[in-house]
Structures are given as structure tokens and as C-alpha cells.
Structure 1
Amino acid sequence: MSFDELLRDLQEGASAQAAGIRRGYGGPPARAVSVRSGLARLRCASLLKPLYAWVTAAHYPDYERWRRHAEPAVVVSSNADTLNLWLAVGPGVILDDIYRRTGVGWALPNGDLSRFGSVEVAADEVATAYAALAQTAAAGDPVAGTILGWMREVTGEQQFGAREALRSSEAGIKCGWYGAPDEAVLRTHAVAVLPRGGTRVTVVVGMTAQPYTDPREREIYRARVTEGLPVEGEHEKVAGGLLRGLMLNTLTELGHRRAS
């Protein structure tokens, strides 16, 4: 299904974005693709957790203490551990460091600065930042390499079938999913870093905000969130197919050779 087919049937009030980057020394010319329908920027949910983990390592004098929080923040998307990193180092410092390392600048969320998932991003920015992370890992940065290794450990419902859709069992995946009380949508996002060898890298990103207005469904969703129960299944129902379609089309447009 083409981008046009995926996007033209979006419900009123929905937003969707996709972006990808293919680049690296010794490979074909750099290539990028992006598409958007709806809002130009979306709240990031947990999509940036590996980037937060990457830049906070330098601010922890104790590596094991950093790892104790960074690993679950990436592998199982632990909000409590992410919040520890976010507040211990400081959101301004974290976002400034991401800008310094990747060239991508994001603003602090309005209001409560403890809400790390309220940073607003665009898919092409996310792709650029993760490409920088991947190429830094390829150049020998041990922390960046560790982060990508953890992304390859993300499994089950938390990767929304992205590896299977992209046919890359070794892809590093991170997804973000949430529906805040002040929103009438569910946000479901994903980034995939595909191995290519050397400093070559391919990154694809899909981001969606799908209407979620049924009062009863919203009540059940909020109750599950409050009780700490998983809600990935609801996000899969609302946006899983769209998310995978956006990512697969992006990979195809980049001309990346997928395993058969």
C-alpha cells in the first residue's frame, strides 16, 4: 500500500508522519524521504528514551548506576527509570546534549518539566538523531553501541511487529505509545535502526496520532494506565497496521535491500 493510500483515508483529526535516512561512508549516496499528514509536530511519548539514555551516561559518575536506569528505560520502556535519568541530569542539559551530538534541537515541554514524553518532534528530526546515534556507535563509541544493543532486545508487543514488517531480525527498535488525558488521540510511534555494516546506516520512523474519542474506551484505557497495566494491545488495534505501513513504505523509498 502506497503512502497516498495510507494517508488519504485517515480519519478527521488524525496525524501521521514517516521519515527515513540512508547514509554512510563507502555506500551509495545519502538519501532521505519524509511524508506528513496533519500536525507538523507530535508529542514523542517514549520514542526518545534511547537518546536520553545515550547522553545522560556522561553525567553519571557511576556507570552501574546509570546502567541500572538506562537499560530498562530502553529495553522495557520503563517510565520510572527514564524519569530518574531525566530529572537527575536535567531536561535542559539532556536536550542541549542531544543537539550538540546530533544537530537536532528540541524544546522543553510546556508546563510540568517532569513530563519527558511531552517533547514535540517531527519524524525527520527523529530519523536524523538516530542516524547520528548509529554512526557514533559504528565509530566505536561504547555507550552508543550499548544503546543500540539494548534496542535490539526490545521484543514482543513493545515493538509493534516492526521487525517482522521490515524483515530485519537484527534491527534496533524503540516505540512510544500513550494517550494523555488532555488528548482525543492515541499516539503510537516507532523508530528502527537497521544494520548495514561500517558507518552505513538506515533509519526509518513512523509516527501516528489516531482519534480515540469513545468515552467508554477512554475510561478503560485511563484505568489501565493508572493501574500500571499494559495498553499496547489498544494501540495495536488503533494504529498498528498504519504504523507498519508507513515504516515499510519508507524503507522501500530509501532503496534499502531487505532480507528475503
Structure 2
Amino acid sequence: MSFNELLDDLDQSAGAQAAGIRRGYGGPPARTVEVSSGLTRLRCASLLKPLYAWVAAGRIADAERWRRHAEPAVVVSSNADTLALWLSVGPRVILDDLYERTGVRWRPPNGDPSRFGSVEVAAGEVAAAYAVLAQAAATGDPVAAAVLGWMTEVPESQTFGARQAVGSADAAVKCGWYGGPDETCLRTHAVAVVPQGGTRVSVVVAMTALPYTDPYEREVYRERVNTGMSVEDRHEKLAGELLRGLMTRTMTELGHTER
């Protein structure tokens, strides 16, 4: 489906974005794709956890302690382990270090800076940052390589079918999903990194914030969050098809054969 077909029927209160980057020495000319509907920036949920883990390594002297928190933060999206990195290094330090490495500037959230998932981002920025991470891994950065490797281990139950959407069973994937008590939407985001050999890489990002206004459904969702139960099925039902459609279309626009 085209981007127009995917986005035209969205509710006026919805937000959706997709972005992609294909680049690398020795490959075809660099190409970028970006489309958005609604808000230009969205809260990032857990989409940036691998990037946080990458730069936090340089600020934590005990490598084993870093790995003990970084690996579950990426592989199973552990909030507790992400907080251990986010707060021990410091939100502003982590985001400043990301800017130094990737050229992408993000700021701590307003209000409570401990809420790492409230950083607001655009899909194109996320794609640009992950492209730097991927190419760093390809050229010998051991921390970047470890983080990207963990992304390949993210279980299918937490990917919303992103690997199938980009046509690569080996893609490195990270997703984020959440709906805050102050929001009338559920946010469901995904990034997939698809190595193309050497330093060549394709990165695809899709982000959605879709209305979730039914009082009963919201009450059930909040109860499940508060008791530590999984809510991925709620996000899949609401946003899974759109998320995958955006990712597949972005891969096609980057010049990859649609599968």
C-alpha cells in the first residue's frame, strides 16, 4: 500500500510517522524517506533504549555492571534496567553524548526527567541515529556491535511483526509501546536495522499514536500496566497493521524489492 492509502483514513487526532535511511560506502547513492501525519514529534516510549545503552557504556567504568543493565534493557525492554542506566549516568549526559555521536539533538522531557520514555522525537531523527549506531558496529565499535546483536535477540512477541515487515528475519529490531494516564492515545513505535553488507545499512522507523478513548478499555489497560501485565496485544490490535504497513512501504521507497 502507498503512504497515502495507509494514512488517509486516520482519525484527525491520530499521529503517524515513518522514515528510512539507506546508505553506506561502496553501495548505491544514499537515500532517505520521511512521511508524517499529525504531530511532528511524538513521545518515544522505549524506542531509544539501545541508543541509551550504547552511549552509557562510556560513562560506566564497570563493564559488567553496564552489561547487566544494558542487555535486558534492549532484549526484553526492561524499564528497571533502563532506569539504572538513565539515572546513574544522567538524562542530560546521555542525550548530550548521543548528540555528539549522531548529530541528533534530543532533550530531557518536561516535568519529571526520570521518564526516559517521554523524550519527544521525529522518525527521521531516530532513523539517522540508528544509522550511525549500525555503521559504528560495522566498523569495529564493540559496544555498538553488542547492542545491535542484542536487538537481533528481541523476541517476536515484542516486535509487532517488524522483521516480517522489512523482509529480513535477521533484522535488529526495537519497539516501544505505552499509553500514559495523561494521554488519550496508545503509542506504538518500531525501528528495524537491516545490514546490507560492509558498511551498507538500511534503517526503517515507524511511529504511531492512535486514539484510545473508550473509558472501559482505558481502565483495563491502566490496570494491566499497574499490575505488570503485558499490554502488547492491545497495541497489536490497535496499531500493528498500520505499523507494519508503514515499515514495508518505507523499505520499498528505499529501493528494496517489496516482499
Compute the TM-score of the two structures, normalised by the length of structure 1.
0.98
Q: CA RMSD in A?
A: 0.8
Corresponding position of 1:222: 222
Distance in 2 (alpha carbons) for counterparts of 1:257 and 1:137: 25
Conservation of the 8 A alpha-carbon contact between 2:12 and 2:38: no
Shift of 1:12: 2.2
Secondary structure of the structure 2 residue equivalent to 1:209? strand
Q: What's the counterpart of residue 67 of structure 1?
A: 67
User: Secondary structure of 2:88's partner?
Assistant: helix
1:174 is aligned to 174
Tell me, yes or no, if the aligned pair for 1:190 and 1:207 is still in contact at 8 Å.
yes
Residue 160 of structure 1 aligns with which residue?
160
Q: Is the 8 A contact 1:127 1:205 kept in 2?
A: yes
Q: Which moved more, 1:223-232 or 1:156-165?
A: 156-165
The answer as to whether partners of 1:151 and 1:173 remain within 8 angstroms in 2 is yes
2:173 is aligned with what amino acid?
A: I
Residues 1:37 and 2:37 are matched in the alignment:
yes
1:167 CA drift (Å): 1.6
Supply the distance in 1 between the matched residues of 2:193 and 2:102 (Cα, whole angstroms).
Answer: 15
Contact 2:95 2:106 in 1 (8 A): yes
**Are positions 1:241 and 2:244 aligned together?**
no
Change (3 A) 1:139 1:257: farther
Aligned pairs for 1:78-97 within 5 A: 78-97=78-97
Aligned to 1:98: 98
Task: Give the aligned partner of residue 253 of structure 2.
Answer: 253
Partner of 2:213: 213
Match of 2:7 in 1: 7
Q: Could you tell me how far 1:257 is from its partner in structure 2?
A: 4.5
Q: Describe the superposition over 1:128-149 as per-residue Cα deviations: whole angstroms up to 9, x where unpaired.
A: 0000000000110000000000
Moved over 4 A (4+): none
C-alpha distance after superposition, 1:30-56 (max 9, x if no partner): 000000000000000000000000000
Paired amino acid for 1:150: W
Q: Structure 2: any 5+ residue segments left out of the alignment?
A: none
CA distance in 2 between partners of 1:225 and 1:44 (Å): 17
- Counterpart CA distance in 1 for 2:70 and 2:16 is 29
Residue equivalent to 1:197: 197
How far apart, CA to CA, are the structure 2 residues paired with 1:96 and 1:153? Answer: 28
**Which consecutive unaligned segments of at least 5 residues does structure 1 have?**
none
Q: Give, in whole Å, the separation in 1 of the partners of 2:209 and 2:25.
A: 35
C-alpha separation in 2, matches of 1:238 and 1:159: 14
The 2-side partners of 1:205 and 1:187 are apart by 14
Q: Which residue of 1 aligns with 2:118?
A: 118
Kindly provide the amino acid, as one letter, of the partner of residue 90 in structure 1: G
Offset of 1:156 from its aligned partner? Answer: 2.2
